[in-house]
Structure 1
């Protein structure tokens, strides 16, 4: 053991330059490579491939809006530091190079495979040259009737300055020759595409000479009739362009008197944050691109010339409009837990906890829990956190109903949930009007914990019931995000939940909690303690075992604890969907750590922490990833699963199938690259998500167990 310890110290010294940790931005781009691989996979249904392509486009937008913007902002703040700017500049350069490669693959796939195959299936996205005379005439009429009246070209001169361009909007730059109405010569015009118009336009079927459905893009309609907008002048050249801006909202929470009002004023400003990326069409002349770069103060390394529409994400409209079963994943109906079918929910929960595994099992029991509480005359109070509920929510409507019926309703609404701020502001206003007590969490911390508490008057006195989960209270995303939740009346858990709510509303330091790990107070400390406990057990010659599943792993102190555990023989399996800064498989540092990522039909969102702990099998579910922001800058909870049967379910459904997967699994190498797992030899392909659908879905065979390998929790 001493030699292992010395090896650890030596190896950590070897990595003292930071290379023991993978770059977060590059790791995020690696995740998008895995998503793009789904779009490239010919075994995936065609419209789903297009959906994955759109997801990559949307993810890259957010990457620039958030991560690149953050790096640029840090660079501006710290540029007087002699070392940091050089490091940041290198990170930006590497990220831009990776993005360029990823985007080139994205458009090549779109043009060379997706579009031709869609056409073969009767879904035609027509360029100008591909439209027949009847379609061209219809597009001309559409342009004159619907588009032209809304266009306002701006010819640039001292009296007509460059217009403000909204984040991610479609625009055109046009170079003109010939004299204008006032006798002046050539110039440049800027034109915004109307935001109220659809970006994908379906052409009438009776005009087509091809079977199926035909579409064209708004950008194509405008480009086809560009000359009509500049009477008496010649359009020399033009290009569509799109600017991505910093989208982070900043509010000094300690200075403002009302966070909601401050955010409402800030939301408009988000559209005009500093520019971080410029996208132009392939035919854009270099001098026009240079003009735009100069106008938006964007470095050339963040100019992207694309071979197609500047926003591929808009093509999701085609996916949503078509219901061809053979071009999409087979329909799936989530199962409903038998323990709650037709039963008094509160009576059922008094008997036992109910574990829910979404989307394989329905999210409806969670909605029913709040709806039953709103309708039950014996329920006197409901408390709940809201992070991302969506713009339409039966669940929040149930809270409104409960408040209108005179129940004590307290809702912690996180107004700073990125890109959901507006929806959450609207819900906060509606809840307050209904009589609910609405607060916005703790100043400086996002409330990311997922908790609901119901207090019910019963013959024995007030009794608490709770729901805790790993995912949002959003019925829409619950259909395609994997998450666990538990409905419980356990005294320890519900008491802890109540204490957390008191902490959030009163801002007093929480009491010592019996079972829940709470960030930013105890969560980080308990995670590191649990890892070190496995380390100590391994030093004593006992088996050490850790399995953890989450979205991201980037906190260096947790990674360091995992490295220490690996060096004394603790076997560690990490299932990390997105960014992972841990470098696995390095001799003397992390040779006992394996990292894999699952990218499939559903978005993996579950957070599970499993520690063998000398056969105690400590199992926690959580709202928190192992990231600095989750552990220190958010209110998060991790809650224990104590019932042996439920522990086995989490192991058999949430961990082991994902370790067995050889269809949607990618393994991380020590070089920071992921390699896809494939069945070898006589191995049969095994998809964790498909196995769970087959076992837990509404049409599954009752009591069928998942074939997922050795279960360390199984009775011996």
Structure 2
């Protein structure tokens, strides 16, 4: 549990008091309760509710693979406590309690709410007890013909020790009685489901319609006896193990980062275990056997009343054509012009607010550059791109058309390492110069530079964004894009690419702030400026929107600003370690989280500056890693009309939300906002959709 709210304090030296900080891991877990609330909301279309449930499960997987694994690492190596003062052991204990509560709510939502509601809507995700005789016969034949030939059951005995179990794979532990053909007494066996098998089986129309589905885990558990002829199956219990998935490469010691990462990826699926999910009715001795083999204690075990891989049910969403059970389709604004994008950007900066503005404009910009004979060079950073990326195809086309193309590919983008290794190979084969970034610093910046000859001069066009160059996430995430021909911004981006691709020294930028050099200090400077304004009795205001906040020095600066009277509103989607509303410290700080149809991903910082406001967009959250250990960009919106638009759409609009907003309390709890009596309901995302 989070520590209680502290007594009022005001002295600056007390701003390091651990009671002023919320634990990051527990705050991250709490975000998934807000996601799960969308699955419980009857105002959300039914299949979208299923999607939110699955997202909360996938998020929890990643939490254990990365965050919980990091805490275990801290425990093993005796690392010091975080600013909240909790020891790694205390955090792990609290994680277990909070995660167990989340898991219980997830499966209650599945068993008691969504599964029955789907059945009522004509979508059956059928448990074994609900199968008809015909369905049972068909599934038995399916098991024999499609599943059993690829299974390799393993009996556990001295000559068959406990095997390696792949991260997050579906497995069945089987309790046997009797003897096999060699006279060996049966006890325990394992059945591993290869990843080639579909986790959701769609029944044919002749067996009740194409909207009926069965989980692979149910089929395996039902017919597992056919794998052990002549023996009695006394029990079959599904389980899944989650492993540490953070890749560790000593970049100072390797000569080739790509080769080192390829070696690490081979072993990722078998790294130390951090969590065991197991069927709720599994006997305790069997669970203890599994825990012992995975090197886990009991507080790493979670009994599951349903499929251990519940997130795989998301496939039903994709398989069903039921528009009545999904969000209405949206048609984003498309930039319409008889001119090219270069001609438009040459006159005025272009602002895109995704997904409400189509990402196709960004793609079209690169396509134009690829075929424009006046374009000489293209430079771009790529962190995540997705499969069949149109941007990658345009970059390859540009290289084949004789353009000088340089791409900074971040090989260490978490869970996209393998895809990015393949991407780097494709680009290099096409003649693109590929750079792997900077040793020790992930390149998380989102920037594109196009050098174009116009008359006797060269002109730079840039795209800067808060999100990745990924057409899929551009439809599902809220993000901001700026296309500009401003010479100062263009020169700054040029210098940044020089720094990334060469061995250039630290460079002074005119407009942009950059991690790890000037962004952190620039934020502190602007927060302290608002603090001085408040001390002088002048209006002082800070509004910032981001995905997460934990950097201690920034938080202390915000606390000091609050003490001086600065009014601070923070829109933080996920983890927030700042504790708002503490008397005498943070009573002028409000923190809210918005969870809705689209994943909130844009980062915007606004500083009142005594009536001359400054507005920045960025690729960086206010996290220690983003501000101090990554390459990030933070860019100003110089066009006052565009800055006002961002303030209106991305800041004030979200502060007015009273439907999808959750306000963080001083005790670390989030309370969902409700319209006040007489106040009209307002959803920020819905307002932006209605404006299309």
Asked whether the two chains share a fold, i.e. TM above 0.5, the reply is: yes
For 2:233 and 2:172, locate their aligned partners in 1 and report how far apart those are by CA, in whole Å. 12
CA distance in 1, matches of 2:361, 2:281: 54
1:693 aligns with 2:652: no
Deviation at 1:416, TM superposition (A): 0.1
- Give CA deviations for 1:466-505 in whole Å, capped at 9, x if unaligned: 0000000000100010000100000000000000000001
Give 3-state SS (helix, strand or coil) of 1:380's partner: strand
Q: Does 1:455 align with 2:456?
A: no
Contact 2:276–2:301 under 8 Å retained in 1: yes
Please list the CA deviations of residues 435-487 of structure 1 after superposition, one character each: whole Å capped at 9, or x if unmatched: 11101110000000000000011103111000000000000100010000100
> For each residue in 1:602-656, what CA deviation from the matched residue of structure 2 results, as whole angstroms up to 9, or x when unmatched?
0000000000111111000000000100011000010101111011011011101
* Partner of residue 188, structure 2: 188
Residues in 1 aligned to 2:571 and 2:632: alpha-carbon distance in whole angstroms: 20
User: What stretches of structure 1 move > 6 A for 4+ residues in a row?
Assistant: 83-86
Matches within 5 A, 1:126-137: 126-137=126-137
Alpha-carbon spacing, 1:181–1:212, altered in 2? closer, same or farther (3 Å): closer
Corresponding residue for residue 224 of structure 1: 222
CA 1:109/1:80 → structure 2, altered by over 3 Å: closer, same or farther? closer
Distance in 2, Cα, partners of 1:573 & 1:467: 28
Query: What's the TM-score, normalizing by structure 1?
Result: 0.94
Aligned to 1:361: 357
Asked if the contact 2:380/2:407 (under 8 Å) is kept, the reply is yes
After superposition, what is the alpha-carbon deviation per residue over 1:258-298, rounded to whole angstroms, capped at 9, x for unaligned?
Answer: 11121112112110110000001112111111100001011
Structure 2 equivalent of residue 335 of structure 1 = 333
CA apart distance, 1:251: 1.0
Please list, as runs of the form range in 1=range in 2, the aligned pairs for 1:514-529 lying within 5 A after superposition.
514-529=510-525
User: Could you tell me how far 1:86 is from its partner in structure 2?
Assistant: 7.8
**What is the aligned partner in structure 2 of residue 248 from structure 1?**
246
Match of 1:707 in 2: none
Tell me which of 390, 398, 401 is aligned to 1:402: 398
Aligned twin of 1:32: 32
Gaps of 5+ in 2: 1-7
Q: 1:550 aligns with which of 533, 542, 546?
A: 546
Other structure's SS at 2:124 match? strand
Query: 2:20–2:84: 8 Å Cα contact kept in structure 1?
Result: no
Partner of 2:590: 594
Give the structure 2 partner of residue 709 of structure 1. Answer: none
Cα drift, residue 683 of structure 1: 1.6
Contact between 2:9 and 2:583, CA under 8 Å: does it hold in 1? no
Structure 1 segment 675-694 matched on structure 2, within 5 A: 675-694=671-690
Change in 2 beyond 3 A, CA 1:85/1:595:
closer
Cα separation, 2, equivalents of 1:342 and 1:249: 48
Does the residue aligned with 2:584 lie in a helix, a strand or coil? coil
Distance 1:296 1:621 in 2: 45
Q: Is the 8 A contact 2:19 2:84 kept in 1?
A: no
Q: CA deviation at 1:244?
A: 0.1
SS in 1 for 2:610: coil
Shift of 1:507: 2.5
- 1:277-426 to structure 2, matched below 5 A, reads 277-338=275-336, 341-426=337-422
* TM-score of the aligned structures, taking structure 2 as reference length: 0.97
- Taking the aligned partners of 1:181 and 1:690, their CA distance within structure 2 comes to 65
Partners of 2:155 and 2:186 within 8 A in 1: no
Aligned residue for 1:19, secondary structure, equals: helix
Task: Tell me the residue number matched to 2:201.
Answer: 201
Contact 2:80 2:87 survives alignment (8 Å): no
Structure 1 range deviating more: 481-490 or 217-226: 217-226
Change (3 A) 1:353 1:497: same
- Asked if the contact 2:174/2:190 (under 8 Å) is kept, the reply is yes
- Structure 2 counterpart of 1:108: 108
Paired residue secondary structure (2:539): coil
1:75, 1:85 within 8 Å by CA — same for their partners in 2? Answer: no
Partner of 2:3: none
Q: What's the offset of the Cα at 1:510? A: 3.1
Matched residue, 1:143 = 143
Query: 1:284, 1:36 → 2: CA distance?
Result: 26
Matches of 2:332 and 2:419 in 1, distance apart? 27
Tell me, in whole angstroms, the C-alpha distance in 2 between the residues paired with 1:666 and 1:17: 26
8 Å contact from structure 1 (residues 663, 678) kept in 2: yes
> Partner of 1:700 in structure 2?
none
- Say if 1:327 and 1:443 are closer, same or farther in 2 by CA, change over 3 A: same
User: How much has 1:85 moved relative to structure 2?
Assistant: 11
Secondary structure of 2:406's counterpart equals strand
Deviation readout 1:536-581 (Å, 9 max, x if unpaired): 1111110100000000010010000000000010000000000000
Write the distance in 2 (CA, Å) between the matches of 1:24 and 1:173. 35
Deviation digits for residues 342-361 of structure 1 (CA, Å, limit 9, x no counterpart): 32211111100000100011
- Structure 2 CA distance for aligned equivalents of residues 554 and 604 of structure 1: 18
Q: Distance in 2 between matches of 1:77 and 1:677?
A: 42
Shift of 1:12: 5.4
Aligned Cα root-mean-square deviation (Å): 1.6
Q: Which residue of 2 aligns with 1:164?
A: 164
1:180 to partner: Cα distance: 2.2
- Go from structure 1 to structure 2 and tell me whether the alpha carbon gap of 1:307 and 1:150 turns closer, same or farther (over 3 Å shift): same
Residue deviations 1:302-341 (CA, integer Å, cap 9, x gap): 1000110001110000011112122111110111234xx2
Moved more, 610-619 or 255-264: 255-264
Q: Secondary structure at the match of 1:390?
A: coil
Native 8 Å contact 2:573 2:594 kept in 1: yes
* Alignment partner, residue 213 of structure 1: 211
* Aligned-pair CA distance for 1:186: 3.4
Secondary structure of the residue aligned to 2:239 is strand
Partner of 1:125: 125
CA offset digits 1:196-242 (Å, max 9, x no partner): 0100001111122xx66211011111111111111111112220000
What is residue 710 of structure 1 aligned with on the other side?
none
Check 1:315–1:206 CA distance in 2 against 1; reply closer, same or farther (3 A cut): same
Displacement of 1:299 after TM fit? 1.2
The whole-number CA distance in structure 1 between the counterparts of 2:13 and 2:50 is 44
Alpha-carbon separation, structure 1, partners of 2:674 and 2:476: 24
- Secondary structure of the corresponding residue to residue 221 of structure 2: helix
1:632 match: 628
Cα separation, 2, equivalents of 1:507 and 1:43: 54
Q: What is the Cα deviation at residue 79 of structure 1?
A: 7.6
Does structure 1 residue 271 correspond to structure 2 residue 272? no
Using the TM superposition, give the Cα deviation of residue 114 of structure 1 relative to its aligned residue in structure 2, in angstroms: 0.4
**Counterpart residue number, 2:5:** none
- Structure 1 pair 80–556 and aligned structure 2 pair: CA distance change class (3 A): closer
Shift of 1:184: 2.8
Return the alpha-carbon distance in structure 1 between the equivalents of residues 412 and 494 of structure 2.
23
Task: Tell me how many residue pairs correspond in the alignment.
Answer: 684
- Partner of residue 437, structure 1: 433
Is the CA contact (8 Å cut-off) linking 1:115 and 1:125 kept in structure 2? yes
**Which position in structure 1 is the counterpart of 2:11?**
10
Contact in 2 for aligned 1:124/1:212 (Cα 8 Å) = no
Match of 1:488 in 2: 484
